[in-house]
């Protein structure tokens, strides 16, 4: 492709999920579904990611369901000891946690990894989460975002409760911590009251990188206010451009610049040397799908049971639930999935195949060059700042992307040839946040000094 600014660089995260992101990945003979509770399994994904100079690994999480999913902090802390460059993004809910615990855990992960931690901020998954955590109810969307904003503000204040030079280790005077540089935050809000300070020094990155996932109205506003990376799902370049422009335009009212938020749509690539080979791979995986099971899952977006229809019937889009009516899971995903069926006039057979790869994110099947063209177009026509890569199969699908697509993007000047720095912020091109309380504390100390001088006089 030509005619674009070649200086814009792509950023890549890899979404770690079981055997892969195609619904039938675990059934494929080359998959290793029995290993998805194995540290070595995820360590191999991390090694492939570092070989491909990826920015980060992402671990989703929730607190219900039958998924075999390791707890993110436990896994990512272990991976931090086995890697040097790649960052770690952990999903943690603001509805079903406490700000102090979350601030402490992320500060610990950032220290352990020497500045490679990131927090994917979600406001809660489902009613089942509430049932498992002794909560009387799953709050409505607006309440969850209200809680989320207060929660994030508290964690930032806790990370800022230590001044940068509070640790002095003065052996001669037997002083390890300058207690005048560690401060209570005394936060009192509608949902939380937190005294502070945190019992661990400020993270190496200042704050772990703040990530937001979702494309709802509340999600976009929370991202514009607090996030530095946003994971999203769009099926077309036009939709991606609209989302990109919308969210970037919201930043100014919070005193932020467009480059302070990276937008990374999900992408499930099925790649081979030729398009025909890639199509063969796609067909092979789709043949492993259980249509009835897929239709039962997709029926969640409709007022009817899709299993009662023929696979060759058109998707009954007139029976789709109103957008916003689904309150569990990623609520914005409903619109993405149903809009694709409306736009392309799909049969249920096509609907199943389209939804199987990437579970609502855009999928692309093609040659190495075609995949690079796709990424280049979205990147340089302001549909994305990079991508959240969802390999259809681990390990081979991910290795093909890393060993073939990444070099092609490097040849085009669209992707790094070496890591830019030591921290995740360095590699994402994000500034390290200054301690927001520094000037307040300096002013308070000066006032105390003047008061002391005046009393002596």
**Alpha carbon distances (Å) from 433 to 22, 59, 150, 302, 388:** 38, 24, 19, 44, 24
Contact yes or no for 336/219 (Cβ under 8 A): no
The residue whose two tokens read 């709050």 is 139
Contact yes or no for 121/211 (Cβ under 8 A): yes
Half-sphere exposure of 232 (CA within 13 A, CB side): 31
CB atoms within 10 A of CB 456: 6
H/E run at residue 282: helix 275-286
Contact yes or no for 386/10 (Cβ under 8 A): yes
Q: What are the backbone angles phi and psi of residue 90, rounded to the nearest 5°?
A: -115, 135
Give one word for 339, left, alpha or beta, with left for phi > 0 and alpha for psi -120 to 50: alpha
Q: Quote the tokens at residue 152.
A: 């994030």
H/E run at residue 7: none
User: Would you list which residues are annotated within the binding site for FMN?
Assistant: 61, 91, 145, 215-216
Mention every residue, 6+ apart, whose C-beta is less than 8 A from residue 222: 121, 123, 145, 148, 149, 212
Distance CA 287, CA 389 (A): 23
User: Would you list which residues are annotated within the binding site?
Assistant: 61, 91, 145, 215-216
Alpha helices in 82-207 (DSSP H): 99-112, 127-132, 141-159
The residue whose two tokens read 């259980």 is 290
Closest CA to 194 of 302, 281, 100, 273: 100
Decide: residue 160, CB within 10 A, 0-12 exposed, 13-18 middle, 19+ buried.
buried
Closest CA to 315 of 328, 327, 302: 302
Mention every residue, 6+ apart, whose C-beta is less than 8 A from residue 384: 10, 240, 244, 263, 264, 265, 378
58 forms beta bridges with 15, 89
The one-character DSSP state at 94 is S
Closest CA to 226 of 206, 204, 209: 209
């Amino acid at each position: 492709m030509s005619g674009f600014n070649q200086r814009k660089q792509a950023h890549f995260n890899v979404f770690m999920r079981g055997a892969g992101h195609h619904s039938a990945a675990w059934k494929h003979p080359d998959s290793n579904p029995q290993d998805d509770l194995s540290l070595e399994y995820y360590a191999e994904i991390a090694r492939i990611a570092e070989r491909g100079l990826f920015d980060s690994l992402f671990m989703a999480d929730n607190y219900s369901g039958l998924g075999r999913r390791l707890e993110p902090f436990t896994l990512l802390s272990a991976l931090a000891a086995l890697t040097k460059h790649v960052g770690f993004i952990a999903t943690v809910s603001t509805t079903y946690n406490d700000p102090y615990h979350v601030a402490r855990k992320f500060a610990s992960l950032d220290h352990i990894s020497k500045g490679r931690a990131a927090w994917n901020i979600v406001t809660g998954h489902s009613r089942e989460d509430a049932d498992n955590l002794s909560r009387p109810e799953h709050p409505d969307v607006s309440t969850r975002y209200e809680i989320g904003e207060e929660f994030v503000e508290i964690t930032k204040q806790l990370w800022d409760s230590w001044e940068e030079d509070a640790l002095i280790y003065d052996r001669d005077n037997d002083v390890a911590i300058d207690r005048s540089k560690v401060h209570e935050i005394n936060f009192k809000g509608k949902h939380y009251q937190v005294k502070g300070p945190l019992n661990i020094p400020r993270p190496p990155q200042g704050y772990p990188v703040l990530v937001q996932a979702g494309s709802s109205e509340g999600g976009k506003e929370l991202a514009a206010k607090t996030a530095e990376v946003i994971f999203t799902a769009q099926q077309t370049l036009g939709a991606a451009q609209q989302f990109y422009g919308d969210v970037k335009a919201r930043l100014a009212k919070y005193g932020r610049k467009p480059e302070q938020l990276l937008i990374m749509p999900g992408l499930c690539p099925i790649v081979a040397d030729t398009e025909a080979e890639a199509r063969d791979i796609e067909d092979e995986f789709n043949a492993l799908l259980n249509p009835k099971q897929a239709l039962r899952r997709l029926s969640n977006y409709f007022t009817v049971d899709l299993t009662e229809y023929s696979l060759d019937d058109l998707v009954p889009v007139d029976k789709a639930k109103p957008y916003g009516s689904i309150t569990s899971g990623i609520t914005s995903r409903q619109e993405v999935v149903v809009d694709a069926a409306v736009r392309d006039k799909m049969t249920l057979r096509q609907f199943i195949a389209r939804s199987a790869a990437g579970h609502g994110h855009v999928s692309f099947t093609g040659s190495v060059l075609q995949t690079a063209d796709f990424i280049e177009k979205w990147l340089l026509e302001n549909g994305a700042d990079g991508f959240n890569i969802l390999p259809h199969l681990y390990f081979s699908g991910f290795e093909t992307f890393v060993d073939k697509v990444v070099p092609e993007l490097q040849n085009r000047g669209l992707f790094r040839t070496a890591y830019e720095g030591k921290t995740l912020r360095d590699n994402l091109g994000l500034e390290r946040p200054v301690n927001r309380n520094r000037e307040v504390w300096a002013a308070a100390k000066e006032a105390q000094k003047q008061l002391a001088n005046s009393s002596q006089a």
